[in-house]
Structure 1
Amino acid sequence: MKILHKNKIQQRHKNIRKKIKGNFDRPRLYVFRSNQHIYAQIINDENNHVMISSSTVEEIIKNQNLNCSTCKAAQLVGKVLAEKCKKKNISKVVFDRGVRPYHGRIKALAESARENGLIF
């Protein structure tokens, strides 16, 4: 049963990736949410290269004494990611939420990144 479920998720993600591509001008902002942490990466799909990443595992965010599975932690990840993007002169991205709905922690990360200068 679990194998079938995992294959369906992989197939849905494959279908999404057919439509969403990141390039040098507009890299892809991919968000992965686990039960305990949230990870965000800026990816250039032309080179298959991760340009910037941020997550709740980083020391900057762990030192805030937040529970890593909350919306506040996701907002902080979005803010840190947007600041890193400003340093590398990246302002426009393509948002990729994977197979997860745009709700909760993913929405909090996206809105925080928008408020801090990313355009998508």
Structure 2
Amino acid sequence: MSVAKARREARVKRQVRVRRKVRGSGECPRLCVFRSAKHIYAQIIEDGTGRTLVATSTIAKEVAEGQKYTGNVDAAKAVGAAIAKKALEQNIKQVVFDRNGFLYHGRVKALADAAREAGLAF
């Protein structure tokens, strides 16, 4: 088994373990984060209906404009601030954070901290 495959399987195991406990509702939806080597994505999901309420990423024009490179901590901070701004516009103030099996450090932590600073509570 390759190292990449083992790493991916370990993340999926963590994702299942976390998802058992973390559920988004109408009052408190789930902020889900996904990161790849080049980009980071964030979406706010209501699990009851399975609808994505708000989404943004480093691919979005408003986030990618000021970024030299989209796979770093600065880009993650920009995505966190953007998702919080969009959520507050839709009157979403409280969310449950879903790190999606990724370890809580680096870009994932930077996104969460930036969203908190921008006014999103979790």
Q: Percent identity?
A: 41
Q: CA deviation at 1:105?
A: 0.7
1:98 aligns to what? 100
- Normalising by the residue count of structure 1, what TM-score does the alignment of the two structures yield? 0.92
2:19 aligns to what? 17
Aligned residue among 95, 114, 117 for 1:115: 117
Runs of 4+ displaced beyond 3 Å? 6-9
Name the aligned partner's letter for residue 91 of structure 2.
Answer: N
Q: CA deviation at 1:11?
A: 3.3
Structure 2 matches for 1:1-120, cutoff 5 A?
A: 1-2=1-2, 5=6, 6-120=8-122
Q: Aligned equivalents of 1:93 and 1:52: distance in 2?
A: 12
Q: Aligned equivalents of 2:71 and 2:54: distance in 1?
A: 21
Do the aligned partners of 2:13 and 2:101 also contact (CA within 8 Å) in 1? no
Name the aligned partner's letter for residue 115 of structure 1.
Answer: E
- Kindly report the root-mean-square deviation, in angstroms, between the aligned alpha carbons of the 2 structures: 1.5
Structure 1 alignment gaps of length 5 or more: none
Question: How many equivalent pairs are there?
Answer: 120
Q: CA deviation at 1:81?
A: 0.6
